[in-house]
A and B are shown apart, each in its own frame.
Chain A
Amino acid sequence: MFWLNTKRVFRSGLQNFFRNGFVSFSSVVIMSITLFILLSTILLAGFLNFSLNSVKQKVDVNVYFVTTASESDILAVQKSLEALPEVASVDYTSADQALTDFQAKHANDQLTLEALDELGTNPLGASLNIRAKDPSQYAGIADFLNSNNSELLSSSGSSIIDKVNYAQNKVVIDRLTSIINSADMIGLWFAIIFIIISIIITFNTIRLAIFMSKDEISVMNLVGASNIYVKGPFVVSGVLCGLISSFIILALFGIFTFWINKYHGSYFVGFDVFQYYIDHFIKIVFIICGAGVLFGSVASYLAVHKYLKD
């Protein structure tokens, strides 16, 4: 009996959907707009995340060593830094490399190069370039570097660190950390607001579509249809509406992201929106189809429930 009823509910739902052509079409259009907003929010969140990560990558701290510091002492410091959980990477630049870089950078500045020659020795010390996993962690790394840890001292007991540029960068790093946190929060709120608006729009559209069937619902009641027999076909229609809208939006976004990447990719400062869409496709399919099915079914169920009398 269960399978017989299920089969009948499904058949009736499919029939209603296709025979109510115009109403179903309108519901699919509105549901598609809703899912469009949802998917746009997902892609925007991806873009925001990418942008914030690129900004984070640009933040670093340099440790400059005294010219007398031995390479083995510096490499020991590098090792200790790499052992810190906050540190993402540490790159070593030797004194010779620093000089070569400096000369290359000032190749057109004859005066500076002549001044360098006058000195006779290499005035530049070696340095370590540190990147933290998160910008907020630079303070902790700076604290480590400013401590009197034995690893930071030469064999004679004097500090081998000449300068840490964290203090100069601190204001920028702190501001950036707060901007990143705010951007994350604003993105989240935008997503929540958009999703709520989408749900309200979908619910109202489906409610309106079912409102037109309220006489039909009362007839079903009178004929002795149990509630599940009345609600079932409407829920099936709602699910179908959600699925069709999802497929439309997924296909449209495939074309749209490909097109935007090809012709307007430069606006996205390195963010490959099409690649992002493809990489996250399975996750996106689950979210969009899941949202479509959920909105369609719950909205239909609640709308029919409203018109079901005793």
Chain B
Amino acid sequence: MIVFEKVTKVYPDGTVALLEATVTIEPKEFISIVGHSGAGKTTLIKMLLGEEKPTNGKVYYESIDINRLKKSEKPHFRRKIGTVFQDFRLLPNKTIYENVAFAMEVAGRSDDEIQSDVPHVLDLVNLTNKAFNFPHELSGGEKQRVAIARAIVNQPDIIIADEPTGNLDPINTNEIIQILKKINDLGTTIVLTTHNKGVIDSLGKRVITMEGGKIVRDDTVGRYSL
């Protein structure tokens, strides 16, 4: 489904972010990427979203060469991927309901679909009672649940969660991971990057370990080994 083929990324200042990274992610997999800061995890994810271009190598999503996508094709491609970030990245001037609805609006979904799906997704992340609050009125865990609701509302093929628990306490961390597991059980591929040893050890899923831009380990049932 996703293939990184000998991907190297060297920034103009000479920093090597990725070095011949090769990895294949199968459909419905729950894959975690671990590594210290600067190991190349975020660069890998940015390439999957078409935000960065590799210096060498190729990134495929199914048969699509992501780097060959035209500027006008990228929005359509990104609608296949749901994203969740450590800093939530919600739209501050929109309510929780509108934040989730926005993802559906840009995908061209009808008002009827939005009115039926958004409450359903908010219910799934247990935020029905906060639908008309603004992001600044929510706790960190709640904000992350909104981000997840927004990521899954278009039923994407993949969810990329870039350190989604980095700003959360253990209880909220566990809650977010459980939601991600549930989404994965329903058939969505999850790509998770994290520093959290407890999360990795409790998941018991595939783990890729990165160091200095290289993939140094790829364990089918991995543990946190840094």
Contacts and interface: CB of A to CB of B under 8 A. Distances in A.
Contacts of A4: 108, 110-111
A15 B93 contact: yes
B92 A216 contact: yes
Interface stretch (B57-65, B70-78, B199-207): B70-78
Q: Chain B at the A interface: mostly helix, strand, loop or mixed?
A: loop
A224 B76 contact: yes
B78 A222 contact: yes
A309 B79 CA distance: 16
Contacts of B89: 215, 218-219, 222
Nearest to A7: B111
A137 interface: no
Contact of B75 (A5, A19, A216, A226): A226
Contacts of B91: 216, 219-220
Nearest to B88: A219
Interface residues of B, number: 29
Q: Chain A at the B interface: mostly helix, strand, loop or mixed?
A: helix
A16 interface: yes
Nearest to A226: B75
B118 interface: no
B106 interface: yes
Interface string A176-220: 000000000000000000000000000000000000000110111
Contacts of A1: 108
Interface in B76-100: 76-79, 83, 89-94, 98
A220 B110 contact: no
Contacts of B150: 223
Interface residues of A, number: 23
A218 B74 CA distance: 13
A310 B50 contact: yes
B93 A222 contact: no
Given A309-B51, A310-B51, A310-B71, A226 B93 contact: no
Given A229-B106, A310-B50, A222 B83 contact: yes
Nearest to B78: A224
A223 B93 contact: no
A16 B71 CA distance: 26
A1 B110 CA distance: 9
Interface of B: 49-51, 71-72, 74-79, 83, 89-94, 98, 102-103, 105-108, 110-111, 150, 154
30 contacts: A4-B108, A4-B111, A5-B108, A15-B93, A15-B94, A15-B98, A16-B93, A215-B89, A216-B91, A216-B92, A219-B89, A219-B91, A221-B75, A221-B78, A222-B49, A222-B78, A222-B83, A223-B83, A223-B102, A223-B103, A223-B106, A223-B150, A224-B76, A224-B79, A224-B107, A224-B154, A225-B102, A229-B105, A229-B106, A310-B51
Given A220-B91, A222-B89, 16 more contacts: A1-B108, A4-B111, A15-B98, A19-B93, A216-B92, A219-B90, A220-B102, A221-B78, A222-B78, A222-B83, A223-B78, A223-B150, A224-B78, A224-B106, A226-B72, A310-B51
